C-alpha cells in the first residue's frame, strides 16, 4: 500500500525498518509529522518530507513511537532510521506503475481510474483511487475481506464498515446488493476519499459516511460488520460490536497476522464469539465470526 506524493519539490527520505503490524501506526505518525508521501517496500517504510523538515524532531518522535509499540507487544524489527536526500521525480507516475487492475474473485475486480476496464465486465467492478487513504485492493487483507464479503452479503442487508479507508469494502457491499451501509474512519481525509470513490462507482447515495469511531453509533444493529484493522483494535471493540449484532449477524475481520490467531481465538471466546471460518494469505488471516447469546 502507498499514498500519493506531491511532485516538483526537493525531498528528504526517511527509511525505517518495520514489521507488518507496525506499518499503519508508523505511516500515520509520519503523516502527522508532515510527510507528503509514504512508500512501503517489504519490511521497510519510507516517508518523504520537504527538504527543510526538522529531522532531529522527527527522529525523537519515532523513537518514542518505537517504545510505545513495544509496550503494546508489537514487534519493531529495526529501530534504525536512514536519511537520504532525493532528486525531484514524478512520484505519482512512479506510484501508478505499481498499481494495476486486480482480479480478487471471478465476480470482484478492482481497477484504478487510469486503467481501462477488462473486456468482459465482472459483476462487481470497483474503481478506486486511494489518494491519501489506505485501500488499493492489492493487500492480502483487503482481498480476503472481499472474498468473505462476497460469501455473506445478501440483498438488502445492513452493513457497517469500520475503518473504511478508501471505501473499497463499503463500495463492494453496495455493488453486491446490500441495503443500509454505514462506513466510517477516524481519518477525515480517508472519509473524503471514500466519498469520492463511492461517487465514481455510482453508489454515493447508498452510503452513510462519517468521521469518528463506532462508539458514535447508538442503539444500532447490523446484519454484517466489516473490520480490516488490527488485532488489538478488534479485541478492544469486541464488547461494543457484540451489542451491534443480532443472532444471525456476522462479523468479518482481518489485519491479523497468522501468528496472532491463537491469542485472538481466546479473546473471541471470552467475549462471546465463535469462529465460523478462517482463511489465510501470506502472513495474514481473515475470519468470519458470529456472536453466541446465552
Question: 7-49, pLDDT tens digit by residue?
Answer: 445 677 878 777 777 777 777 777 777 777 777 777 788 887 7
Q: How many other C-beta atoms are found inside a 10 Å radius of the C-beta of residue 10?
A: 12
Question: Does pTM top 0.75 for this prediction?
Answer: no
Angle of helix 140-152 versus helix 168-175 axis, rounded to 10:
20
Stretch 154-175: mean pLDDT, rounded?
95
CA distances from 51 to 39, 92, 95, 122 (A): 17, 18, 21, 45
198 neighbors 204 (Cβ within 8 angstroms): yes
pLDDT digits (tens, 9 = 90+) for 217-229: 877 899 999 999 8
Q: For the domain covering 11-95, report its CATH number.
A: 3.30.70.1170
77 neighbors 19 (Cβ within 8 angstroms): yes
Distance CA(166)–CA(70), nearest Å, equals: 28
Distance CA(280)–CA(183), nearest Å, equals: 25
Architecture of domain 99-291: 3-Layer(aba) Sandwich (3.40)
Question: Is the dihedral angle over the CA atoms 278, 103, 43, 162 positive or is it negative?
Answer: negative
Question: What is the per-residue pLDDT for 105?
Answer: 95
Residue 190 pLDDT more than 70? yes
Residue 50 pLDDT more than 80? no
Stretch 40-62: mean pLDDT, rounded?
72
Question: What is the percent of the chain with per-residue pLDDT over 70, rounded to a whole number?
Answer: 81
| Residue 130 neighbours by CB under 8 Å, 6+ apart | 1, 2, 3, 4, 136, 165, 166, 193
Residue 1 pLDDT more than 60? no
Stretch 265-277: mean pLDDT, rounded?
96
Distance CA(254)–CA(287), nearest Å, equals: 7
Residue 146 pLDDT more than 70? yes
Q: Give me the chain's average pLDDT, please.
A: 83
User: At 284, is the pLDDT very low, low, confident or very high (cuts 50, 70, 90)?
Assistant: very high
Going from N- to C-terminal start, the domains of the chain cover 11-95, 99-291
Question: What is the per-residue pLDDT for 87?
Answer: 65
Q: How many other C-beta atoms are found inside a 10 Å radius of the C-beta of residue 152?
A: 20
Amino acid at each position: 500500500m502507498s499514498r500519493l506524493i506531491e511532485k516538483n519539490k526537493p525531498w528528504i527520505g526517511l527509511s525505517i525498518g518495520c514489521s507488518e503490524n507496525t506499518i499503519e501506526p508508523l505511516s500515520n505518525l509520519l503523516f502527522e509529522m508532515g510527510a507528503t508521501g509514504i512508500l512501503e517496500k517489504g519490511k521497510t517504510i519510507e516517508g518523504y518530507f520537504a527538504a527543510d523538515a526538522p529531522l532531529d524532531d522527527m527522529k525523537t518522535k519515532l523513537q518514542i513511537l518505537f517504545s510505545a509499540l513495544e509496550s503494546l507487544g508489537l514487534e519493531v524489527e529495526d529501530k534504525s532510521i536512514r536519511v537520504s536526500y532525493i532528486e525531484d521525480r514524478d512520484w505519482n507516475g512512479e506510484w501508478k506503475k505499481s498499481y494495476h487492475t486486480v482480479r480478487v474473485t471471478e465476480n470482484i475486480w478492482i481497477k484504478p481510474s487510469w486503467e481501462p476496464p477488462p473486456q468482459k465486465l465482472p459483476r462487481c467492478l470497483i474503481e478506486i483511487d486511494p489518494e491519501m487513504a489506505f485501500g488499493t485492493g492489492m493487500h492480502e487483507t483487503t482481498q480476503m475481506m472481499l472474498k468473505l464479503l462476497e460469501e455473506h452479503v445478501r440483498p438488502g442487508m445492513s452493513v457497517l464498515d469500520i475503518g473504511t479507508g478508501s471505501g473499497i469494502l463499503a463500495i463492494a457491499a453496495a455493488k453486491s446488493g446490500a441495503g443500509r451501509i454505514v462506513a466510517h474512519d477516524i481519518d477525515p481525509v480517508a472519509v473524503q476519499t471514500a466519498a469520492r470513490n463511492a461517487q465514481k462507482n455510482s453508489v454515493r447515495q447508498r452510503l452513510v459516511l462519517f468521521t469518528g469511531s463506532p462508539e458514535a453509533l447508538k442503539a444500532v444493529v447490523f446484519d454484517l460488520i466489516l473490520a480490516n484493522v488490527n488485532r488489538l483494535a478488534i479485541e478492544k471493540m469486541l464488547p461494543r460490536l457484540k451489542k451491534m449484532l443480532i443472532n444471525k449477524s456476522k462479523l468479518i475481520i482481518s489485519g491479523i497476522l497468522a501468528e496472532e490467531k491463537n491469542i485472538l481465538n481466546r479473546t473471541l471466546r471470552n467475549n462471546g464469539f465463535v469462529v465460523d471460518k478462517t482463511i489465510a494469505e501470506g502472513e495474514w488471516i481473515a475470519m468470519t465470526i458470529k456472536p453466541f447469546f446465552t
